Amino acid sequence: MALTLPAAETLDLAADRPGSLIFSGSPEADLFTREVAESLAGVLRENLITRRTADGSPPGFTRASVPPRPWWDTMWTRDAGTFLRELVAWGYFEHGCLVSHCLIQGVALNHDGYHAFPEKLRPGQPEAGDEIDGTAAIIIGMVLLWRHLPAGHPFREPLDLFLHGPSSPVRYLRFMAKRDGLIAGTGEFGPGCSLDGSYCSVVQNHLAALALQAAGNREDEAGRPTDAAEFRAAAYDLVERISAIMRYPDGSWMWGVRPDTHQPDPQILDAPINRGSGLHNGVASMYADVLGLDPVGAGWSLADACRKTFDRLLAAPLRRSQFEKYGFWPQWDPPFRGGLSSGPSYGEGYALQTMLLFDCLDLADKSLRWLAKATFEATPQPFNRLHRDSPYHFYERTYSPDAEGRVEFEEGCGALNLVNVTEPLKVARLMLGVDPTARGKVQIAPRLPRCISRIEARNWPVLTETGVVQVNLEMERIAAGLAFKCTAVGAGVIPHLVLRSRSGGTSQTEEHRDVRSLSVVLPS
């Protein structure tokens, strides 16, 4: 069956009823609430193209940055995949279809006959490439979208054909993994930012494994168990290989290995952009994109390596001192940018997500307070010439208070750089704890750092075995634990709800059936 996309103009963006979040309990909680809301609104207004523009940008094209910042006229596939993930998780399903429409039209067939995404797309110029993290992130976002769309939605079948057909990007990942054992890719998560060639990085290969796992789960839901088993087997083999050959003697992750020998290349591992890079935390943080929100409780095989990697990075002297003083997490070790620069995506964002997933809530409290204050206050002029319409907009490059006079301040892609908005959106979701990847049951695992005493969600989408149900959620820290309230909107009902809390160092769960309204106190 040929893949035929419905016209982008037929997608009714006004039909979306997205969720919203309010955090309370401290000035930083109030700041973070506005930063999340205004940054998401800013991206939807400034970055996302909803009508074809004079320069030929089609509907769904999502600019990496706001004009005239660098790369404003491109759509980076890694960023687009994370944006699609967040659109679905927050309930912007029609917007997700629009972005997917653009991505499907923008990718070409590669020399092996598969749809594989390049590092970035330009309007009206379909292209293929070897940006494995972009391809994998888009697969994950599209799988989430397909699962959340109701049966009969006009975009559900085209998504199925794109993800399942003979030229599918999923089949490309499986082809590469089966042929080479590991997958080599280019770009920031290949050899590293600004480094040429291809490399088998641990973050990129793990994300590819997650994409294959997600696609396999989707094939099961589509009634194709043979394809499901093949995709999940490829994911398993990738995980086994990276676990066996991409670790240092202390058990933590190395950046990766050469494509030809599967041996480490010192020139890549010791490059300033890679050595001591916060991007290593991407292995841990990306767990939540496919496998759930409790890596330790689920007995995840890579949890120990991820925790050792996090601990190794935090133990670096400058990072340790900066974090203890300010809650600032340098994205790189010196000498790169003096070790005094970071950002809410691959630096502070990945680190904070890892803290939350591994229940390091004291550390998460320091990190969240820093992120909220640094976003609002920024570094004052004349050191940092940051251009933005709102002090609540997340921006690409944050700097330590100690950086003044020691490093050159650069705005880079600036405010509303797409991935530097999407990763804090994910931080907000991790604290709420609704797992959008769950199958057959709704799973909620709240995590409240000290600066957050209450979270309120309105019209939040949860995927049940009978379809999406919107709910209002309230969770508040009280003397007895965490007071939790869930109320289905309208006539909705949650057939099976699982709540998880952590008390005394152990994870506890309780299950509820046919939930329309529920009020309980979770131990904590």
Closest CA to 169 of 125, 138, 210: 138
The strand pair at 454-464 and 20-24 is best described as antiparallel
What is the number of residues in the chain?
A: 524
Where is the domain boundary, 398, 432, 466?
Answer: 432
User: How large is the average pLDDT for residues 427-439?
Assistant: 97
Q: Answer yes or no: do 335 and 402 share one domain.
A: yes
User: How large is the average pLDDT for residues 89-100?
Assistant: 98
> What pLDDT, on the 0 to 100 scale, is given for residue 53?
87
pLDDT at 128 over 90: yes
pLDDT at 505 over 70: no
> What pLDDT, on the 0 to 100 scale, is given for residue 499?
96
Residues 6+ apart with CB under 8 A from 94: 11, 12, 13, 15, 16
User: How large is the average pLDDT for residues 141-170?
Assistant: 97
User: How large is the average pLDDT for residues 190-206?
Assistant: 94
In which band, very low, low, confident or very high, does the pLDDT at 55 lie, cut at 50, 70 and 90?
confident
Q: Answer yes or no: do 209 and 307 share one domain.
A: yes
Let me know if residue 206 belongs to a domain.
yes
Q: Answer yes or no: do 496 and 419 share one domain.
A: no
Where is the domain boundary, 432, 450, 466?
Answer: 432
Closest CA to 23 of 377, 474, 486: 474
Average model confidence (pLDDT) across the chain = 95
> What pLDDT, on the 0 to 100 scale, is given for residue 239?
98
In which band, very low, low, confident or very high, does the pLDDT at 470 lie, cut at 50, 70 and 90?
very high
HSE value, Cβ hemisphere, 13 Å, CA-based, for 186: 13
User: How large is the average pLDDT for residues 18-47?
Assistant: 98
Overall domain count for the chain: 2
User: How large is the average pLDDT for residues 250-268?
Assistant: 97
Q: Answer yes or no: do 387 and 456 share one domain.
A: no
Q: Answer yes or no: do 376 and 467 share one domain.
A: no
Tens-digit pLDDT profile for residues 400-416: 999 988 888 889 999 99
pLDDT at 105 over 80: yes
Q: Answer yes or no: do 496 and 384 share one domain.
A: no
CATH of the domain at 210: 1.50.10.10
HSE value, Cβ hemisphere, 13 Å, CA-based, for 25: 20
Let me know if residue 285 belongs to a domain.
yes
Range list of H helices, 62-108: 77-90, 93-106
Q: Answer yes or no: do 374 and 419 share one domain.
A: yes
Let me know if residue 410 belongs to a domain.
yes
Q: Answer yes or no: do 403 and 446 share one domain.
A: no
Q: Answer yes or no: do 469 and 397 share one domain.
A: no
Lowest mean pLDDT segment, chosen from 22-36, 163-177, 190-204, 380-394: 380-394
Tens-digit pLDDT profile for residues 274-301: 989 999 999 999 999 999 999 999 999 9
Dist CA 327 CA 368 (whole Å): 8
Closest CA to 18 of 77, 114, 92: 92
Dist CA 165 CA 159 (whole Å): 10
The strand pair at 506-515 and 494-503 is best described as antiparallel
Let me know if residue 1 belongs to a domain.
no
Q: Answer yes or no: do 410 and 461 share one domain.
A: no
For 131, phi and psi rounded to 5 degrees? -85, 85
Residue ranges making up the domain that contains 35: 8-432
Tens-digit pLDDT profile for residues 376-401: 998 766 667 799 999 999 999 999 99
Within 10 angstroms of residue 505's Cβ, the number of other Cβ atoms is 6
* 3-state class (DSSP) for residue 360: coil
Q: How far, in whole angstroms, is CA 247 from its chain's centroid?
A: 23
CATH of the domain at 481: 2.60.420
> What pLDDT, on the 0 to 100 scale, is given for residue 439?
86
In which band, very low, low, confident or very high, does the pLDDT at 56 lie, cut at 50, 70 and 90?
confident
Let me know if residue 2 belongs to a domain.
no
Let me know if residue 181 belongs to a domain.
yes
Kindly report the pTM of this predicted structure. Answer: 0.97
Q: Answer yes or no: do 286 and 333 share one domain.
A: yes
Dist CA 463 CA 97 (whole Å): 17
Q: Are 386 and 411 in contact (CB under 8 A)?
A: yes
Q: Answer yes or no: do 505 and 376 share one domain.
A: no
Dist CA 330 CA 327 (whole Å): 10
pLDDT at 19 over 80: yes
